[in-house]
Amino acid sequence: MTVFPPARHDALELEELFTPEEKAIKARVRAFAEQHAAPIINKYWEKAEFPHELRSKFGELGIGGAHIKSHGCQGLTTMGAAAAIVELGRVDGSLSTFFLVHSYLGVMTLGLLGSEAQKAELLPGLSNFSKVAAWALTEPSNGSDASALTTTARKVPGGWILDGRKRWIGNATFADVVIVWARSSETGQVNAFIVRKGNPGFRATKIEHKISLRCVQNADIHLTGAFVPDADRLPGVESFADAAGMLAMSRCMVAWQPVGLVTGVYDMVLRYTSQRRQFGAPLASFQLVQERLARMQATIQAMYLMCHRLSQLYDAGRMSHEQASLVKAWTTARAREVVALGRECLGGNGIVADFLVAKAFVDAEAYYTYEGTYDVNVLVAARGQTGYAAFKTAGRANKAPPPTH
């Protein structure tokens, strides 16, 4: 089964939410994903390798520059970016994540917080994927509590010396530039630095044995006396709040990722259940299968609409951290349900990567965890509801003296 199934998931004609320009991006990325990625991606997924052979085709899509409108970047709208994320994820979750890390963490951070010289040098190559970016915030000991990061940046004449470790950093094994977040020895505040491929103090080791998003090359990074010149510090970054601002934007885009995943699963399951026969009839003619198909389709429409509204709020400059967290947590949780329903419909083939659904089943797990886990995102959302930051309360409680009774 090599040809990707036709798109049949759009029950409420949600394609109308996109402008003609955004529809053109959607069609372009869908054609790329179906024709070029779908036939080869399982081979790379099996080997847990990134499909570098797709890099030049990625460059032709006109999506690499994210929302940035200068230095060769295309200035996508939020729904234009969503169109690309959905269509990549419909065929493969790893490709969607590669794009998101590169463009909506790397390019956006450089474009919004970099110097004019940094942008002029790096954005043209990044916008057409001839260069690749990574974004390094998480550390082995600081995941959900990323603001407690301990990587240090010590001021020396002409630059900075970076020491510390990072974990889970997507694209980092082959990225040309890695945006590293580190604490300044001068101010105690978090700053951001461009660490370039080949820096002798930088070592990235691929995290092996990952069962989700296997084509994404996540790395453990060791920074050992890595010298970064003054010109490679991002002047727009003054504190952790700047990292949090970038994460809010990318969280809006990450919320769309599960939408792509479930549209692909639905299309695959509809074709499979229509073609496969048991007891003398197509699976799709049995009531239990039809109930699952209807439930999947309804959930997909709701996911789409939640993300669309979040995107509208972002474009209006009114999206809060709480809103982004609410939607990201919700869509990633719903995706787990939809892929599980899809997996059931395929019987034994539901655990074989060739039929897409098994791959989506495990890819949904990474979406559920990164860019803030489900737990942390719902607690951020609930902070908006209640005024209590429960994720912080737990930390303080741990530091309290043990009860005396």
**What is the contact mask toward ligand FAD in residues 205 to 224, using x (rule: CB under 6 A)?**
--------x----x------
Q: Contact at 8 Å (CB) between 342 and 265? A: yes
225 vs 395, which CB is nearer to ligand FAD?
A: 395
Residue 375 as a binder of ligand FAD (CB under 6 A): the answer is: yes
Strands 152-156 and 281-282, how do they pair?
A: unpaired
Count of residues binding ligand FAD (CB under 6 A)? 23
Measure the N-to-C terminal CA separation of the chain; round to a whole number of Å.
65
CB of 101 to ligand FAD, least distance (A): 5
User: Site for ligand FAD (CB under 6 A): which residue of 201, 373, 383, 389?
Assistant: 373
Strand 133-136 to strand 177-184: parallel, antiparallel, or no bridges (unpaired)? parallel
Asked if 136 is part of the footprint of ligand FAD (rule: CB under 6 A), the reply reads yes
Q: How far is the CB of 250 from ligand FAD (least distance, A)?
A: 10
Query: How many Å apart are CA 360 and CA 179, to the nearest integer?
Result: 29
245 near ligand FAD (CB under 6 A): no
Rule CB under 6 A: say whether 285 interacts with ligand FAD.
no
Among 106, 125, 170, 258, the residue binding ligand FAD under the rule CB under 6 A is 170
Query: Which residue is nearest to ligand FAD, using beta carbons?
Result: 143
The C-alpha atoms of residue 384 and residue 95 are separated, in whole angstroms, by 33
Least distance (Å) between residue 37 CB and ligand FAD: 19
Interactions with ligand FAD, residue window 82-121 (CB under 6 A): 101
What are the tokens at 188?
Answer: 């105690």
What long-range pairs does 292-297 form, CB within 8 A, spacing at least 24?
Answer: 292/341, 292/342, 292/344, 292/345, 293/266, 293/269, 293/345, 295/341, 296/262, 296/265, 296/266, 296/269, 296/338, 296/341, 296/342, 297/9, 297/11, 297/266
Of the candidate residues 27, 148, 241, 394, the single one contacting ligand FAD (CB under 6 A): 394
Which residues on adjacent β-strands are paired with residue 202? 223
Q: What is the CA radius of gyration of the chain?
A: 22
Q: Is 377 in the site for ligand FAD (CB under 6 A)?
A: no
Q: Which positions lie near ligand FAD, rule CB under 6 A?
A: 101, 135-138, 143-144, 168-170, 213, 218, 366, 369-373, 375-376, 379, 391, 394
